[in-house]
Structure formats: structure tokens, C-alpha cells
Amino acid sequence: MIFNSVEFLIFFPIAVLGYYLIPHRVRYLWLLACSYYFYMCWNPSYALLILFSTAVTYIAALAMSALADKKRAALWKKCCLAGGFILNLGILVWFKYTDFFLFNIGRIAEGIGIKWTPPQLDLLLPVGISFYTFQALGYIMDVYRGETAAEKNFFKYALFVSFFPQLVAGPIERSKNLLSQIQERHRFEFETVRDGLMLMLWGYFLKMVIADRAAIFVDAVYAEEHLYGGWYLVIATMLFAIQIYCDFAGYSIIAMGAAKVMGFRLTDNFRSPYMAQTVADFWRGWHITLTGWFRDYLYIPLGGNRKGRLRQYLNIMIVFGLSGFWHGASFSFIVWGLLNGFYQVAGKLLQPVRDRVVSALQINRQAFSHKLYRMLVTFLLVDFSWLFFRAGDLGEAFWALTSMLHAGNIHVLTDGSLFTLGLDEKNFLVLALAVAVLIFADYMKRRGIVLREWLCRQGTWFRWLCLYAAFCAVLIFGVYGVGYDEKAFIYFQF
Amino acid sequence: MLRKIKRVAATVLFWALLAATFVHLTYLYRGDLAHTRKHVTGFYDEKQDSLDVIMIGTSATFSAFMPMEAWNQYGMVSYNFSINTLYTDSIKYYVREALKTQSPKLLIIDIAPFLFGHHSYGKMEEVFEVPTRYNTDGLSLSKNRFDLINAIVPEWEDRLEFYFDLFYYHGDTIPQPVFAGNRQHNVEKGYDNLPIRQIYTNDELAERNWTEIELDEANKEAFLELLEELQDYDFPVLFISQPYLNVENGSPDGLAAYMERVIGEYGFAFLNLTDHAEEIGIDDIFDYSLDYLHYNTSSAEKITAYLGKYVMEHYPIPDRRGEEAYRSWHEDYVLWQEILEEERKETKRQMLEMFEQTTEPECYLNLLRSDYVSSCIWISSQPFVYKDEILWGRISDLGVALQSEGVPHNSLVIIDHTLNQQILYNEGAEFRFSSTFGEVRYTDGDMPELYIQESDHSDLLENEALIAVVVAERETGKLIDFIAWGSNEDDYVILSHKTYYP
């Protein structure tokens, strides 16, 4: 069941209604049932996996907690933590990376003259496994560090792992945030519910009007990139930057909104990333919860920036390399991750040079023009890395890169060729206008202005007009229905 | 407390307006998959309780009956509430829909959906989605539509996109005025002309066989449910079967016979127009369009005249032509006449285009009987053997008597259907050639003259075993088509086919 489906539009009100009608003390059971139902709509057998992951980390946390006063507590805690990690990551590795490893071992074997055909397991990746696995692992890390108490109620903990708004594509919540809210009593508050619904509407706008529309062109070009090289690929890659942002951010915002309707506050996963001035800044605004997870549970344990500059750069590369690998079992994802790591390392290394240049040229760093320049450069760097993300494999990525560097078909920008790949002029116009709305909203967010709150302070007639306009925009211009191939959210595949 | 009440009221109003917006957008963006949405929106636009006769059926129905002609000839106020591929299990829902806003004095139901297998059969494979949408996507959003969807769309997951058909059509260009809702005035009152696409050969027509054939389970159930429901209404119901060609041993005759008996058992009337085809004046060759069960303007005018007269004679349907309340129908008739004239031209155009599409000799020669054309046939002295027959025998069906012997080589035979004459020029007779290949001219009192550009076809004209035909538009004399066949032992061979129309 995806968010932009009629099934969800029926399921969600029932879930919310049940939530507020049921007595508070058993509401979590209702939500747990809804969450498992939501997950099992993808595939009933997935429930066993998430249940296993839940049980393992629940037991590990309880064991750590119970062993806190025992002899050799530290060792036992480490064992429980390791056991939890190994079992959970083991499942993730099995489903996500087995074919990748087998394939590459086979290639290495072939390279050194050993004849061995690796088995093709073609394992189907259970949706959301990367997200809930990390969420559960984050919990046992928090328990290990003593930052949070182990949850004794198995069902409440199970709800923390499987909470349906953020189950299949994040945000990856911390136990300190979400688990504590499960204990809270949530009353029906009009403003909160309204705000949640408005968030959902905005999320649907991003996903259905922008992301899925851009995807039509992007998919058409990348499906036949040998036919549509050069400037087609340039435009498609730029549109992919918009597509992936609106797709993922749209999902996260819908998740936030859905949770908020029930009184839960999820972490904002995006903060105007394309308005960033540096790549590091970009990563402080992109998939914030994953970046935070890697920072707290990998980068800092590796030493962070506390062990000298070289070690810091190495840690950055490791973290981003693994982050890339988390996204997909392919070298192109690893390259994408490493490239982003490299940008940040290079940024740090070149900082003194940039400072000298700025000083010498007497550039006003606070000037709008300079900020715009930095924003565009950052966007171009990030978009370049998206090429590896989208291409699927390294070979295709490098082919696309070569094609773009030798692009001799600039005429396609003006002769109407771009309108022949699924998006006609009208649709490009709709896309452009929608992106303009997005840029405005992101700019406001960057300035600390929450447009929803501003709208709620306006007169009823104006507020309703805006909401109806947004509603009509999604209904009319959203990509769904006939011909829509149920584009799952991009991040579902991770 | 007051604040809470205000808030609740505002919320309810907000969602109500949102729902209304959704409904309005649905009507605005609904596409017109089969170009028959206007039949439904036109029905909704008719004034409450203004229609005396409502006809329900499928494409065979809406191409057969012209309510505006029935109005003009008999003062009958009727509406052809028919849609493309109406399923048999949809009929009762369309009856209910009609009765929401009308109180007819007569309901006419065409049994064509039963005869030609229009049923949902509980399938939702891709091929069935579009015809199913013909049934559902014109109706206003209502419980009746909801029930119809539940009846003909088997899986609940599939039904969702039918309940909310905006999900299917959003993003289409707006097909109607912004604030029209789901109603739009339809001057044709549900009638629609269909393109001509096929001419049948005699071989393809089977003998009539009225031995009863029972409907299959699904259709029988729909049929009996419909009959049961109709018994609850207090107005008469007339079941009809439009005339159709019996093509390739089709079962419609048997099904019609079965249905006629059952209809009679339930106390309803049945009129089989196939039995009266000759009386109606239906021409098997020229009065069908699309295929063997659809009609063009020519046949529709004939059927309307006959059926309208039948209804007025057998049912207490008032002649409303003098009533003030129906003044708009007079105004509509003026518009209708313009539409009809255009549609007659369209029928003629489609018929003339058939010459380009038709190459099989028997079908082609059948076309020559059309009132729109005159033709010249050039026949060589050798017999044209086709399908083990001497084709000249077929030409005799066209009213021309030819004899295999005695027709000189390179003779020109001119057939004029209006005069029913054959004019035979013997070899050596003066025959005028012109530099332009173009016209069959009729001059007053003179023989028709054929002008052929020698360089184009003279080589053909010298071939033996040849039939060549030149077709011209009767009204203007303009050339339409030229075709020439040769024959080998087993079959005919097209030697040349050149079209000059449009």
C-alpha cells in the first residue's frame, strides 16, 4: 500500500478514527495492528522479518538492561549489542547484498582463472528493511550507551519499529523521540490534525505533481540513454535531482503529516537541501535522519574529527561510502557516496584557498549574488553525483558522463525535441510552475518561515482558497490513475 | 463550547465544499471514451418529467433511432438513452437512472446487448476496462452508479478507480463548459451517426434460423432480473430488436426467438424489426454502417419512421407539437436539420470512401448500386472467372443482362441505374477520349460519355480477361474511383486501383 493510492486514502481515516476512539491505554495496540496490516499489504511474509528484527533487538536491549549490574556487564553488553547487530545486519546483508557479493566474487574468481559460476539467488528485497533495521539498531545502541531505557512492553517497542507512517522509507526515528511519544496521551487537537493534513497535502503535491511528472522524462531518457545522449541526459539528470528530492521529501512529509494527525511528531528529514551553500551543508539538509544515524553510530565511534584531520577525512569517506552502499548493492551507489564524501573532504582542504580568493577579490560572502553562486555550484556538484545514483551501474554512468561531456546536440533545447519524451509543452510548463512553488516554499523554510503557520493566520476564505487550489492541483495535475505504473517512491527500493 | 461548535461546523462545511469540488472536477475532466458521453449528459439536461418515450440500448440503438425525426413526423417526445456497449447487466441500472428524473409513458428496451454478447462476465482484463467504463463513466455520481459499478466490476480493488473516475481522466483537456456539471444540451437527443466500414458479400450472409437458443447463464440472469424489475413499474415496456444482417451463422436469431417468448410470458410486448426489414425499406448493402448491426442516416431515417409510427399507433403517446412547454423542441429541430444534413453528407462521404477500401469484386460491384454514384464497366470478351463462377452472372444482378458470347472485345458497357439502361458500343464505335481523366458526363438527352485519359489505362483496356470499372459521383459527375481486375484460373487479380475521392 503506497501513500498515493486509494487504498491508503481509505485505510488512513479508519486508522485515525480508530486511534482516537479507542481508549488511550490500548491505542498502541490498534496502531500496531494497523502498522502490521499496512506492511503486510506489500507481502504478508514480510511481517515475519520485521517481527524477527523486533524480537532480536527487544531481547538484546532487555538483556543489556538486565545485565547492567552484573559482573563483566560491559562485556555482556557488548555481546548483546554485537548479537543484535549481527543478526539484524545479517538479514539486511542477506537480502540486499548476497547477489552483489556472489556476482563480484564470481568475477574475481574468473579474473584469477578459477571457473566458478555463482548461484543467482535473485532475492527480493523486503520493502523498508533498510529503514526499520537501522531504526532498531539505533535503539539498541542508545540502550547500550545508556541514553535510553530498554522498553519492557514488547508491543510498544514493536510499534516503535513498525509505525506505519515511517515504516517503509523513514524518517529513521530515534527511540528518544518516537518511543517516548508512544507513551504519551494524544488528545484530538484541531490545529494539530489540520497541520498534519496540510503537511500531507504538501507531500502529495511534491510527489504526484513534481516527482512523478519529472520521472516520466527522466525514465524515458535513461531507458534509452544510448539514443538520448548529450543534452537529453543533461536535462534528465537535472530533472532527476528534482525528482528524487520531491519523491523522497514528499514521502517523508506525508509520513510526518500522517503521524501528526495522530499526534506524533516525526523528525523533519529535509531542510531545503538545494538551497545549501556547500555540499556539507547539503547533507545537513538531506535525509537528515540517515545522515544523523551514520554520524552518531559510525562517524563518532570511528573518532569523528577528534583524531586528527587525516583520520577525519578518512572517516568521512568511510561514512559516505557506506551510506552509498546502504542505498544499493552496486558500485555506482558506492561511487555516488564516495563522491559526496570527496566533495566534503575537498571542501575542507580547499577552504583556506577559497578564503584567500574571497579576500583578494573582496567578495561579500553575505551578498545574495555570492550565495546564489555557491548554491548553484553546490547544486551542480550534487547533481553530478546523482548521475551515478540514477544510472544503475558504473558502465552506464561513465557512458552517460562521456555523452554529456561531448554533447553536440544543444539544438534539442530549442527545437521541441524535449517535448517528445512523455512530457509535452503543457506538462513541462506545469512542472516549471510547480518547481517554482517548491523553490518559494523551500526559500521560506530556509528563512525560518513556516508557510502552513502563516496560512493559518490568514482569513478563512483565503486559507480555504489556497487549500482548495492545492487540492485541485494535486487532483488535476498529479500523475496517477490510468497509465500510472504505480511508481513506488524511489527510496522504497532501499 | 460555541467555539467548538463553530469549528465543527466550519470543518463540515470545508469537507462538503471539497467533496463538491471533487464531484465538479470529475464532471469537468471526464473524458469521452466512446464519444457517447453526450447521450447521457444530454439526458440529464432534459426537463424533469418531460419525456414520453425513453429508449435504452447500445450503439445499435443510438444509431438506429432519431428522436428529432420522430418529433417532426409524429410529435413524439423521446430520448435515445443509449450508450456504447451497454452491458446486459447494466440495463436495469440505466432504467433506474432514467426514472430518477423522468416519468415516461413508454419505455423501449433494445435487446441488442443480449443478442451480441454485451456482458461484463465478471472480467477485468485490460480489454474489458474500456467497455466497462462506457457503462459507468457518463452517469452522475450517485448510489445507483455505485450499485452499477459493484454489479459489473468484480474486484473491489478495481472498483475504486471506477467510483472515483477522476483518477482515470484527470489531466485530460476539458471537454465541456466549466460549470456545466454533468449535463449538456444534446440536440440529437441521443442519436449518433456511425461510420460505414464494411460491405458484406452474399456468401457472408447466413439464412435466417429462428430456432430458439437460450441465453447463457450470465445473460439469462440479467434478463430475468430486468424483467422482474420492470414488472414493478406502471408504464408499458416495449422490447425491440433492430434489424440486423445474419452474418456467418450467427446466433442472434435464435436468441431473439427465445427472448421473444420469455418477454411474452412476462406480459411485455416485443417488436422484431428484422421481420419488418423489407417493410421498413432496409437495403442489406447500403443501410448498415460499421458492421451488420449498426446504421447510417439512411437506415436510421427509415427505422425511425417505421418505429415512430408503430409507437404512435399502439401506445397513448401524445402529439406534443402544439404544446407551449415543448417550444424548445421546435427550436432544436431547426438545429437538428442542419446536423442531419451534415450527417447525410457524412454518410455519403463514407460511402464514397468505401470504393477506395473495397477491392473484392463482388463487394465492389455491390457498391455500384449506391444512389450516390454512376458507373461504367468495361468488360473484355473473355469470361472473368471468379470463385468458380462466371462473374458476368453477378453483374446481371445489377440489372444488366449480359451474355458471354456476343460481347465484343474492348466494348464499353455503360450502366445507368436511374435509367436502368445498358448501352453497348461495339468495336469501332466512336468513343471520345479526353486529355483529362476525369468525368462521366450526362448531357441532356444524349448518351453518357466516358472520358478516360488514354495514357493511364489504355494498355489495360486492351487486356483480355478484364473487368474495369469507372465510378463517378452521380450528382457532380466527378470521378471517384477506377479499378480493373484481371483473372487467373483461381482468383481475381487487381491490375489497377486508383482513387480520386475526396
User: pLDDT for A59-99, tens place per residue?
Assistant: 999 998 887 666 677 788 888 889 999 999 898 888 888 88
Kindly indicate the confidence band of residue A312, based on its pLDDT and cuts at 50, 70 and 90. Answer: very high
**Separation of CA A484 from chain center:** 22
| Residues B126 and B212 grouped into a single domain | yes
- Position B264 scores a pLDDT of 96
CB contact under 8 A, A475 and B157: no
Lowest mean pLDDT of A311-325, A417-431, B169-183, B252-266, name the range. B169-183
- Position B388 scores a pLDDT of 55
Q: Give me the sign of the Cα torsion angle B476, B481, B486, B487.
A: negative
| Residues B348 and B363 grouped into a single domain | no
Instruction: Tell the burial category of B100 from Cβ atoms under 10 Å away from its Cβ (0-12, 13-18, 19+).
Output: exposed
Question: A468 touching B, CB under 8 A?
Answer: yes
Mutate to test the interface with B, among A1, A4, A5, A6 (most CBs of B within 10 A): A6
Lowest mean pLDDT of A273-287, B53-67, B386-400, name the range. B386-400
| Residues B285 and B193 grouped into a single domain | yes
CB contact under 8 A, A7 and B160: yes
Strands of the sheet containing B411-416, edge to edge, are B421-425, B411-416, B373-379, B466-473, B479-487, B492-499
- Position A169 scores a pLDDT of 82
- From the CA of A268, how many Å to the nearest CA of chain B? 27
Of B7, B25, B168, the CB nearest to A475: B25
Between A and B, how many residue pairs show a Cβ–Cβ distance under 8 A? Answer: 44
- Position A224 scores a pLDDT of 84
pLDDT at A365 over 90: no
Q: Mean pLDDT across the stretch A211-218?
A: 93
| Residues B91 and B63 grouped into a single domain | yes
- Candidates B446, B447, B440, B412; CA nearest to B426 is B412
Regarding an ipTM greater than 0.85, the answer is no
| Residues B113 and B169 grouped into a single domain | yes
Number of domains in chain B: 2
Q: Which three cell numbers stand for residue A489?
A: 517512491
- Candidates A208, A217, A272, A278; CA nearest to A438 is A272
CB contact under 8 A, A472 and B25: yes
Q: Which residues of B touch A471 (CB under 8 A)?
A: 18, 21
- From the CA of B134, how many Å to the nearest CA of chain A? 15
User: pLDDT for A221-259, tens place per residue?
Assistant: 998 878 888 899 999 999 999 999 999 999 999 999 999
Q: Which of A24, A226, A287, A327 is catalytic?
A: A327
Lowest mean pLDDT of A183-192, B94-103, B178-187, name the range. B178-187
Instruction: Tell the burial category of A447 from Cβ atoms under 10 Å away from its Cβ (0-12, 13-18, 19+).
Output: exposed
Strand B106-110 with B237-241, pairing: parallel
- Position A482 scores a pLDDT of 59
Of B18, B167, B170, the CB nearest to A468: B18
Average pLDDT of chain B, as a whole number: 79
Of A460, A476, A480, the CB nearest to B25: A476
Task: Give residue limits of the domains in chain A.
Answer: 6-168+178-188, 189-256+426-494, 271-392
User: Which range scores top for mean pLDDT: A27-36, B192-201, B238-247?
Assistant: A27-36
- DSSP string computed for A398-459: HHHHHHHHT---GGGGTSSGGGGSS--HHHHHHHHHHHHHHHHHHHHHHTT--HHHHHHTS-
pLDDT at A154 over 90: yes
> Which residue range(s) make up the domain with B318?
26-353
Q: Which residues of B touch A477 (CB under 8 A)?
A: 170-171
Question: A196 touching B, CB under 8 A?
Answer: no
Q: CB count, 10 Å around CB of A358? A: 13
Inter-residue contact A358 to A365 (CB < 8 Å): yes
Alpha helix ranges (H) inside B63-111: 67-74, 91-101
Inter-residue contact B104 to B53 (CB < 8 Å): yes
Q: Is A370 a catalytic residue?
A: no
Q: Which residue has the higher pLDDT, B482 or B186?
A: B186
Boundary (domain end) residue, out of B353, B386, B406: B353
Q: Mean pLDDT across the stretch B103-107?
A: 97
CB contact under 8 A, B169 and A464: no
Q: Which residue has the higher pLDDT, A416 or A124?
A: A416
Boundary (domain end) residue, out of B300, B335, B353: B353
Q: Is residue B11 part of a domain?
A: no
| Residues B334 and B427 grouped into a single domain | no
Mutate to test the interface with A, among B170, B172, B173, B174 (most CBs of A within 10 A): B170
Q: Is residue B20 part of a domain?
A: no
Q: Mean pLDDT across the stretch A291-320?
A: 91
- Position B498 scores a pLDDT of 81
Angstrom distances, CA of residue A218 to CA of A225, A390, A427, A473: 10, 9, 14, 22
Kindly indicate the confidence band of residue B480, based on its pLDDT and cuts at 50, 70 and 90. Answer: confident
Kindly indicate the confidence band of residue B494, based on its pLDDT and cuts at 50, 70 and 90. Answer: confident
Q: Which residues of A touch B168 (CB under 8 A)?
A: 481-482
- Which 3 state secondary structure label does DSSP give B484? strand
| Residues B328 and B418 grouped into a single domain | no
pLDDT at B428 over 80: no
Kindly indicate the confidence band of residue B238, based on its pLDDT and cuts at 50, 70 and 90. Answer: very high
- Position B174 scores a pLDDT of 63
User: Which range scores top for mean pLDDT: B9-13, B280-284, B490-494?
Assistant: B9-13
Of all residues in chain B, the one with the smallest CA distance to A209 is B171
Q: CB count, 10 Å around CB of B278? A: 8
Phi, psi of B481, rounded to the nearest 5 degrees: -155, 150
Question: A472 touching B, CB under 8 A?
Answer: yes
CB contact under 8 A, A6 and B18: no
Of A190, A471, A480, the CB nearest to B7: A190
- From the CA of B138, how many Å to the nearest CA of chain A? 17
Kindly indicate the confidence band of residue B173, based on its pLDDT and cuts at 50, 70 and 90. Answer: low
Of A190, A460, A481, the CB nearest to B167: A481
| Residues B124 and B48 grouped into a single domain | yes
Q: CB count, 10 Å around CB of B225? A: 15
User: pLDDT for B303-349, tens place per residue?
Assistant: 999 999 999 999 999 999 999 999 999 999 999 999 999 999 888 88
Q: Which residues of B touch A472 (CB under 8 A)?
A: 21, 25
Query: DSSP secondary-structure letter at B353?
Result: H
The residues, ordered by sequence, that sit 6+ positions from B307 with a Cβ below 8 Å of its Cβ are B65, B70, B240, B271, B273
CB contact under 8 A, A6 and B17: no
| Residues B408 and B331 grouped into a single domain | no
CB contact under 8 A, B7 and A472: no
Of B7, B18, B160, the CB nearest to A471: B18
pLDDT at A11 over 60: yes
Q: Which residues of B touch A464 (CB under 8 A)?
A: 14, 17
Lowest mean pLDDT of A150-159, A387-396, B396-405, name the range. B396-405
| Residues B283 and B367 grouped into a single domain | no
Boundary (domain end) residue, out of B353, B370, B385: B353
| Residues B97 and B179 grouped into a single domain | yes
User: What CATH number should be reported for the domain holding residue B239?
Assistant: 3.40.50.1110
Average pLDDT of chain A, as a whole number: 89
- Position A358 scores a pLDDT of 87
pLDDT at B399 over 50: no
Q: Is residue B392 part of a domain?
A: yes
Which helix (H) or strand (E) element contains residue A382?
Answer: helix A368-391
CB contact under 8 A, A464 and B14: yes
| Residues B180 and B48 grouped into a single domain | yes
- Candidates B212, B132, B328, B447; CA nearest to A482 is B132
